[in-house]
Structure 1
């Protein structure tokens, strides 16, 4: 879902309208990691996922959410419908991963894919970050893009729980 930016000439939708459109694009993920094969240990966690392809049932999240060992994941849509998630891929260097749900299992809900529009990002742009902090539905944080060429987070260079996000920029 691409949203018109302030310089696009299009009338900006209200925050309430955007939130209504996005609520079926964001899922709450509950994960249970029983045995570690890479980093981390046993854990039960809550996270956020973003639907990026409704036909294939693809959900984008963080690397640690997908996990490297035996895991169980379920996604909860805004209307409380739950589906099982299968880990597909987690990037060995960067902090992202993909999970998959079976679109045929989704009934009564119409998930919407989020289309990213990185070309619209610019320094000083006011943003809202939607997620599921502490397993809350659609928690919202305000912010501003301060710069687009910021270095990645400074992860430890060796040992457990490390990522290698060298030569990557985030926004």
Structure 2
């Protein structure tokens, strides 16, 4: 292994890219921000009966990443007259620390998907405040039923996502 290969390998590990433009006789170094990404996944039940959606309660799943706790909320409610489901992430800490993280959520099936990307809200913001601001992945009931892909009484919807932070 020669010295140039070693430098390139090191640059790749720490996220530094060096490039030069021979026409302008310049050389620049770009330091890329390194992201650490973790995956999350949960499966929730969806109801085909719209009256059940109106009375559904919310589900909470707690994840521990980066030495911090995150709450994935999944809730059914009426948005106007339309029954919907909503998934969003809250950070167990203050708003300033929550700003250091980003997340994405996804539901899908049959070559279709809905995605959401945002910054987790602080746990200090109540779940109703987050829900009422529509700051999350909103899934219309008919799409949730389509994604659940089952004719059975109990339908399952898989919510996947990732949480990351810049290093």
TM category, shorter: under 0.3
Higher relative CO (Cα under 8 Å, sequence separation at least 6) belongs to 2
- Structure with more of its chain in strand, by fraction: 2
| TM-score, scaled relative to structure 1 | 0.26
- Structure with more of its chain in helix, by fraction: 2
| TM-score, scaled relative to structure 2 | 0.26
